[in-house]
A and B are shown apart, each in its own frame.
Chain A
Amino acid sequence: MIEKILEVASSVGGNGPESGDSGPNDLQNPPGMDYIDLGTYVAIIIGIANICLLLALLSIYLQNYKKIKSKFTMGLLVFASLLLLQNMVTTLFLALNAFFSISSQGLDIGRPQLPLSSVNIIQLIALSILLKITWE
């Protein structure tokens, strides 16, 4: 009899906090939250891919700049560096936001990431083409 009461009590105790948590959670995570998170992760992964492509481009541009010091090679170097900086800052912010839940109040990155990742995908395609023709 006592065992049964304990069982019931523990099951109530186990369920209590969970059901209590799910209430506010449901409010914070309205339907579609998973989709938003997925968008952020896709944006981060593509951001990292962009960074890798830019590092490859940058290494070629740096080699060329070392041998040929000119406006042209300097321009390519600056171009790739700035794009790299942009991708690093964007991806870093997204990652901080996603993994450490750093408050993104006042920043746009708390919103659905579909626009950002679509821009990133376009950049990925563009950079792949540039790297391909640069590598030839």
Chain B
Amino acid sequence: MKKLLWWLIAGMKGGINRARIIKSLYERPYNANQLSEELNLDYKTVRHHIKILEQNNVIKSSGEKYGKMYFLSNEMEENYDVFKEIWEQIGKK
């Protein structure tokens, strides 16, 4: 999980926005539309990141199609310290 998070955030294009999504979902569940408003991101961008994060078992969803709520997977919750470590590196000079 640690390696995976590093790769998803620091090894791929658009990783920073992925980290922001994880951070938001840690605080409370959101749907894709709310996330795009909250993070000031394009809706399609958010959908793309969500797809990748879901495929990698970082987040889970519940509900139907458009109102689908997303939250962190159990595995991600357990490894949230790892994420915090990466998060602290972001923007540090």
Chain A interfacial positions (CB closer than 8 Å to B): 60, 63-64, 67-70, 72-73, 76, 133-136
Q: Which of A67, A69, A70, A136 contacts B12 (CB 8 A)?
A: A136
A68–B12 CB distance below 8 A = no
Give every chain A residue within 8 A of B12 (Cβ-Cβ).
Answer: 60, 64, 133-136
Give every chain A residue within 8 A of B10 (Cβ-Cβ).
Answer: 64, 68, 70, 72-73, 76
Chain B interfacial positions (CB closer than 8 Å to A): 6, 9-13, 15-16, 52, 86, 89-93
Nearest A-chain residue to B7, judged by Cβ: A72
Give every chain B residue within 8 A of A135 (Cβ-Cβ).
Answer: 12-13
A134–B11 CB distance below 8 A = yes
Q: Taking chain A's interface residues, is the majority helix, strand, or loop, or is none over half, making it mixed? A: helix
Give every chain A residue within 8 A of B90 (Cβ-Cβ).
Answer: 67-68
B52–A72 CB distance below 8 A = no
Give every chain B residue within 8 A of A136 (Cβ-Cβ).
Answer: 12-13, 52
Please report the C-alpha to C-alpha distance between residue A76 and residue B6 in the assembled complex, in whole angstroms: 12
B11–A69 CB distance below 8 A = no
Please report the C-alpha to C-alpha distance between residue A69 and residue B92 in the assembled complex, in whole angstroms: 7
B13–A68 CB distance below 8 A = no
CB of A58 to closest CB in B, whole Å? 12
Nearest B-chain residue to A56, judged by Cβ: B13
Please report the C-alpha to C-alpha distance between residue A60 and residue B9 in the assembled complex, in whole angstroms: 12
Please report the C-alpha to C-alpha distance between residue A133 and residue B7 in the assembled complex, in whole angstroms: 10
Interface centre among B10, B52, B86, B93 (most CB of A within 10 A): B10
Give every chain B residue within 8 A of A60 (Cβ-Cβ).
Answer: 12-13
Closest 5 A-B residue pairs measured CB to CB?
Answer: A70-B89, A73-B10, A60-B13, A68-B10, A68-B89
B13–A72 CB distance below 8 A = no
CB of B20 to closest CB in A, whole Å? 11
Please report the C-alpha to C-alpha distance between residue A34 and residue B15 in the assembled complex, in whole angstroms: 48
